[in-house]
Structure 1
Amino acid sequence: MPTLRDIMTPGPVTVDPMATLKEVATLMLEQDIGSVLVMENDRPTGIITDRDIVIRAVAYGHDFGTPVTDYTTGDVFTMAADTSVEDAAREMAQRQLRRLPVTEEGRVVGMVSLGDLAVRTGGEADEKALQGISQPTNI
Protein backbone atom coordinates (compact mmCIF):
# COMPACT_ATOMS: atom_id res chain seq x y z
CA MET A 1 0.00 0.00 0.00
CA PRO A 2 1.53 3.36 -1.03
CA THR A 3 2.30 5.97 1.60
CA LEU A 4 2.51 9.73 1.42
CA ARG A 5 6.30 9.40 1.16
CA ASP A 6 5.77 7.57 -2.14
CA ILE A 7 3.71 10.33 -3.77
CA MET A 8 4.78 13.58 -2.07
CA THR A 9 6.70 16.37 -3.72
CA PRO A 10 9.79 16.68 -1.49
CA GLY A 11 11.18 19.94 -0.16
CA PRO A 12 8.15 22.23 -0.08
CA VAL A 13 8.76 25.92 -0.66
CA THR A 14 8.59 27.87 2.60
CA VAL A 15 8.82 31.46 3.77
CA ASP A 16 9.05 33.15 7.14
CA PRO A 17 6.06 35.07 8.52
CA MET A 18 7.44 38.46 7.47
CA ALA A 19 7.59 37.60 3.76
CA THR A 20 5.46 39.92 1.66
CA LEU A 21 2.70 39.03 -0.78
CA LYS A 22 4.99 40.11 -3.62
CA GLU A 23 7.81 37.84 -2.43
CA VAL A 24 5.44 34.88 -2.15
CA ALA A 25 3.86 35.53 -5.54
CA THR A 26 7.34 35.76 -7.08
CA LEU A 27 8.32 32.43 -5.49
CA MET A 28 5.16 30.84 -6.88
CA LEU A 29 6.01 32.12 -10.34
CA GLU A 30 9.66 31.03 -10.19
CA GLN A 31 8.89 27.58 -8.74
CA ASP A 32 5.69 27.02 -10.77
CA ILE A 33 3.70 26.21 -7.64
CA GLY A 34 0.35 27.23 -6.21
CA SER A 35 1.04 27.18 -2.48
CA VAL A 36 3.74 28.14 -0.01
CA LEU A 37 4.09 27.15 3.63
CA VAL A 38 4.73 29.85 6.21
CA MET A 39 7.20 28.49 8.76
CA GLU A 40 8.28 29.75 12.14
CA ASN A 41 10.99 27.84 14.04
CA ASP A 42 10.63 24.80 11.74
CA ARG A 43 6.89 24.68 12.43
CA PRO A 44 4.21 25.42 9.82
CA THR A 45 2.10 28.33 11.05
CA GLY A 46 0.17 28.94 7.85
CA ILE A 47 -0.24 28.16 4.19
CA ILE A 48 -1.02 30.57 1.38
CA THR A 49 -2.21 29.71 -2.08
CA ASP A 50 -2.31 31.64 -5.31
CA ARG A 51 -6.08 31.78 -4.88
CA ASP A 52 -5.69 33.29 -1.38
CA ILE A 53 -3.56 36.07 -2.84
CA VAL A 54 -6.10 36.86 -5.55
CA ILE A 55 -9.29 36.56 -3.45
CA ARG A 56 -8.04 37.99 -0.15
CA ALA A 57 -5.62 40.68 -1.36
CA VAL A 58 -5.71 41.58 -5.05
CA ALA A 59 -9.52 41.72 -5.23
CA TYR A 60 -9.51 44.31 -2.44
CA GLY A 61 -6.60 46.33 -3.80
CA HIS A 62 -4.31 45.58 -0.85
CA ASP A 63 -0.64 46.54 -0.84
CA PHE A 64 1.68 43.79 -2.11
CA GLY A 65 4.22 44.74 0.55
CA THR A 66 1.88 43.45 3.25
CA PRO A 67 3.17 40.50 5.32
CA VAL A 68 1.86 37.21 4.02
CA THR A 69 0.55 36.22 7.45
CA ASP A 70 -2.36 38.65 6.98
CA TYR A 71 -3.67 36.31 4.25
CA THR A 72 -2.64 32.81 5.26
CA THR A 73 -4.82 29.98 6.40
CA GLY A 74 -3.59 29.05 9.88
CA ASP A 75 -3.86 25.80 11.82
CA VAL A 76 -1.98 23.81 9.20
CA PHE A 77 -2.99 20.15 9.26
CA THR A 78 -0.12 17.77 8.52
CA MET A 79 0.27 14.01 8.26
CA ALA A 80 3.26 11.72 8.71
CA ALA A 81 5.12 10.46 5.66
CA ASP A 82 4.32 6.83 6.53
CA THR A 83 0.54 7.48 6.43
CA SER A 84 -1.23 5.43 3.78
CA VAL A 85 -2.45 7.33 0.74
CA GLU A 86 -5.96 6.02 1.40
CA ASP A 87 -5.98 7.41 4.96
CA ALA A 88 -4.62 10.73 3.72
CA ALA A 89 -7.29 10.95 0.99
CA ARG A 90 -9.95 10.30 3.59
CA GLU A 91 -8.58 13.06 5.86
CA MET A 92 -8.23 15.48 2.96
CA ALA A 93 -11.86 14.85 2.03
CA GLN A 94 -13.11 15.17 5.59
CA ARG A 95 -11.18 18.40 6.18
CA GLN A 96 -11.72 19.71 2.63
CA LEU A 97 -7.98 20.11 1.95
CA ARG A 98 -6.46 20.41 -1.50
CA ARG A 99 -2.89 20.42 -0.17
CA LEU A 100 -1.35 18.45 2.67
CA PRO A 101 2.08 19.08 4.21
CA VAL A 102 3.90 15.82 4.99
CA THR A 103 6.08 15.41 8.06
CA GLU A 104 8.83 13.09 9.20
CA GLU A 105 10.07 13.18 12.78
CA GLY A 106 8.12 16.41 13.28
CA ARG A 107 9.68 18.26 10.33
CA VAL A 108 7.90 19.16 7.10
CA VAL A 109 9.53 17.14 4.32
CA GLY A 110 7.02 17.29 1.48
CA MET A 111 3.66 18.30 0.13
CA VAL A 112 0.85 16.23 -1.34
CA SER A 113 -1.79 17.86 -3.49
CA LEU A 114 -5.03 16.61 -4.89
CA GLY A 115 -3.18 16.41 -8.22
CA ASP A 116 -0.55 14.12 -6.68
CA LEU A 117 -3.33 11.78 -5.57
CA ALA A 118 -4.68 11.73 -9.12
CA VAL A 119 -1.44 11.32 -11.03
CA ARG A 120 0.48 9.05 -8.68
CA THR A 121 -2.23 6.67 -7.47
CA GLY A 122 -4.15 5.86 -10.61
CA GLY A 123 -7.03 8.15 -9.69
CA GLU A 124 -8.71 6.10 -6.96
CA ALA A 125 -7.57 8.11 -3.96
CA ASP A 126 -8.23 11.49 -5.54
CA GLU A 127 -11.80 10.51 -6.37
CA LYS A 128 -12.50 9.89 -2.68
CA ALA A 129 -10.79 13.11 -1.65
CA LEU A 130 -12.45 15.18 -4.36
CA GLN A 131 -15.90 14.00 -3.35
CA GLY A 132 -15.32 15.29 0.18
CA ILE A 133 -13.58 18.48 -0.86
CA SER A 134 -16.36 19.35 -3.28
CA GLN A 135 -19.05 19.19 -0.59
CA PRO A 136 -20.28 22.62 0.51
CA THR A 137 -19.41 23.64 4.05
CA ASN A 138 -21.92 24.90 6.57
CA ILE A 139 -20.38 28.25 7.41
Structure 2
Amino acid sequence: MGAQISSVMTPNPVCVPQDASVSATAAIMRDNDIGSVIIMNDGRVSGIVTDRDLVVRGLAEGFNPQEAPVGAVASPSAICLAPDSSTADAVRQMRESSVRRLPVCDSAGHPVGIVSLGDLAEELDPESALADISAATPNI
Protein backbone atom coordinates (compact mmCIF):
# COMPACT_ATOMS: atom_id res chain seq x y z
CA MET A 1 0.00 0.00 0.00
CA GLY A 2 2.89 2.42 0.66
CA ALA A 3 3.31 5.40 2.93
CA GLN A 4 0.55 7.88 3.59
CA ILE A 5 0.61 11.01 1.48
CA SER A 6 0.79 13.14 4.63
CA SER A 7 4.31 11.82 5.21
CA VAL A 8 5.63 12.73 1.73
CA MET A 9 3.63 15.84 0.77
CA THR A 10 4.83 19.39 1.09
CA PRO A 11 2.61 20.92 3.80
CA ASN A 12 1.03 24.38 3.77
CA PRO A 13 0.77 24.81 0.01
CA VAL A 14 0.70 28.25 -1.52
CA CYS A 15 -2.73 29.09 -2.94
CA VAL A 16 -3.97 32.01 -5.03
CA PRO A 17 -7.47 33.00 -6.17
CA GLN A 18 -8.27 32.21 -9.79
CA ASP A 19 -8.58 35.91 -10.57
CA ALA A 20 -5.04 36.75 -9.40
CA SER A 21 -2.96 38.02 -12.30
CA VAL A 22 -0.41 35.84 -14.07
CA SER A 23 2.25 38.39 -13.10
CA ALA A 24 1.31 38.41 -9.40
CA THR A 25 1.27 34.60 -9.38
CA ALA A 26 4.72 34.46 -10.99
CA ALA A 27 6.04 36.83 -8.31
CA ILE A 28 4.56 34.61 -5.57
CA MET A 29 6.29 31.59 -7.11
CA ARG A 30 9.58 33.48 -7.27
CA ASP A 31 9.30 34.78 -3.70
CA ASN A 32 8.47 31.31 -2.34
CA ASP A 33 10.97 29.46 -4.58
CA ILE A 34 8.27 27.12 -5.87
CA GLY A 35 7.18 25.91 -9.30
CA SER A 36 3.44 25.54 -8.73
CA VAL A 37 0.55 26.99 -6.77
CA ILE A 38 -2.96 25.78 -6.09
CA ILE A 39 -5.75 27.83 -7.66
CA MET A 40 -8.79 28.55 -5.51
CA ASN A 41 -12.33 29.54 -6.42
CA ASP A 42 -14.87 30.33 -3.68
CA GLY A 43 -12.74 28.54 -1.08
CA ARG A 44 -12.40 25.36 -3.14
CA VAL A 45 -9.51 23.97 -5.17
CA SER A 46 -10.16 24.63 -8.85
CA GLY A 47 -6.77 23.78 -10.36
CA ILE A 48 -3.01 24.04 -10.26
CA VAL A 49 -0.72 26.37 -12.18
CA THR A 50 2.95 25.68 -12.80
CA ASP A 51 5.77 27.92 -13.96
CA ARG A 52 5.55 26.09 -17.29
CA ASP A 53 1.81 26.87 -17.56
CA LEU A 54 2.59 30.57 -17.07
CA VAL A 55 5.00 30.49 -20.01
CA VAL A 56 3.32 28.04 -22.41
CA ARG A 57 -0.34 28.90 -21.83
CA GLY A 58 0.17 32.50 -20.82
CA LEU A 59 3.09 34.36 -22.32
CA ALA A 60 3.42 32.25 -25.48
CA GLU A 61 -0.29 32.70 -26.19
CA GLY A 62 -0.01 36.48 -25.89
CA PHE A 63 -1.77 37.00 -22.57
CA ASN A 64 -0.94 40.28 -20.84
CA PRO A 65 0.60 39.02 -17.58
CA GLN A 66 -0.56 42.06 -15.58
CA GLU A 67 -4.17 41.62 -16.70
CA ALA A 68 -4.72 37.93 -17.46
CA PRO A 69 -6.21 35.93 -14.60
CA VAL A 70 -4.12 32.94 -13.60
CA GLY A 71 -7.21 30.74 -13.79
CA ALA A 72 -7.13 31.16 -17.57
CA VAL A 73 -3.73 29.45 -17.83
CA ALA A 74 -4.05 26.93 -14.98
CA SER A 75 -4.46 23.20 -15.39
CA PRO A 76 -8.01 22.44 -14.35
CA SER A 77 -7.47 19.75 -11.77
CA ALA A 78 -9.91 19.59 -8.92
CA ILE A 79 -8.66 16.10 -8.03
CA CYS A 80 -7.55 16.12 -4.41
CA LEU A 81 -6.05 13.38 -2.31
CA ALA A 82 -6.83 12.90 1.37
CA PRO A 83 -3.86 13.06 3.76
CA ASP A 84 -4.36 9.38 4.58
CA SER A 85 -4.28 8.33 0.91
CA SER A 86 -1.42 6.00 0.05
CA THR A 87 1.48 6.77 -2.25
CA ALA A 88 0.07 4.05 -4.52
CA ASP A 89 -3.20 6.04 -4.71
CA ALA A 90 -1.22 9.12 -5.72
CA VAL A 91 0.73 7.29 -8.42
CA ARG A 92 -2.47 5.79 -9.82
CA GLN A 93 -4.25 9.16 -9.83
CA MET A 94 -1.29 10.90 -11.49
CA ARG A 95 -1.19 8.24 -14.21
CA GLU A 96 -4.93 8.33 -14.83
CA SER A 97 -5.05 12.12 -14.92
CA SER A 98 -1.67 12.71 -16.64
CA VAL A 99 -0.56 15.20 -13.98
CA ARG A 100 2.63 15.60 -11.96
CA ARG A 101 1.21 17.32 -8.88
CA LEU A 102 -1.88 16.78 -6.77
CA PRO A 103 -3.34 18.90 -3.99
CA VAL A 104 -3.89 17.18 -0.65
CA CYS A 105 -7.09 18.35 1.03
CA ASP A 106 -8.67 17.82 4.43
CA SER A 107 -12.19 16.46 4.85
CA ALA A 108 -13.64 19.96 4.35
CA GLY A 109 -11.85 20.29 1.00
CA HIS A 110 -9.21 22.79 2.18
CA PRO A 111 -5.69 22.28 0.81
CA VAL A 112 -3.24 21.11 3.46
CA GLY A 113 -0.43 20.00 1.16
CA ILE A 114 0.72 19.22 -2.33
CA VAL A 115 2.43 16.06 -3.56
CA SER A 116 4.60 15.96 -6.65
CA LEU A 117 6.01 13.26 -8.85
CA GLY A 118 9.41 14.10 -7.37
CA ASP A 119 8.10 13.60 -3.82
CA LEU A 120 6.86 10.15 -4.81
CA ALA A 121 10.14 9.28 -6.54
CA GLU A 122 12.08 10.17 -3.38
CA GLU A 123 9.80 7.90 -1.34
CA LEU A 124 9.30 4.98 -3.74
CA ASP A 125 12.49 4.93 -5.82
CA PRO A 126 15.20 6.84 -3.92
CA GLU A 127 17.97 5.61 -6.24
CA SER A 128 16.31 7.02 -9.37
CA ALA A 129 17.56 10.06 -11.26
CA LEU A 130 14.26 11.85 -10.57
CA ALA A 131 14.66 11.28 -6.83
CA ASP A 132 18.24 12.61 -6.95
CA ILE A 133 17.14 15.72 -8.83
CA SER A 134 14.15 16.25 -6.56
CA ALA A 135 16.27 15.97 -3.41
CA ALA A 136 18.99 18.34 -4.67
CA THR A 137 19.29 21.88 -3.39
CA PRO A 138 17.84 24.34 -5.92
CA ASN A 139 20.46 26.16 -7.95
CA ILE A 140 18.94 29.61 -7.82
TM-score by length of 1: 0.82
Structure 2 vs 1, CA of residues 85 and 56 (structure 1 numbering), >3 Å: closer, same or farther?
Answer: same
* 2:15 equivalent in structure 1: 14
Q: Which runs of 5+ in 1 are unaligned?
A: 127-139
1:104: Cα distance to partner? 1.5
1:107: Cα distance to partner? 1.7
Number of equivalent positions? 125
* 2:78 equivalent in structure 1: 76
SS of the residue 2:76 aligns to: coil
Q: Deviations over 1:50-102 (max 9, x none)?
A: 11111112113321121111111224211111011112112211211100101
* 2:104 equivalent in structure 1: 102
Within a 5 Å distance, the mapping from 1:9-88 to structure 2 comes to 9-65=10-66, 66-88=68-90
What amino acid is the match of 2:3? P
1:43: Cα distance to partner? 0.6
% identity of equivalent residues: 40
Q: CA RMSD in A?
A: 1.8
TM-score by length of 2: 0.82
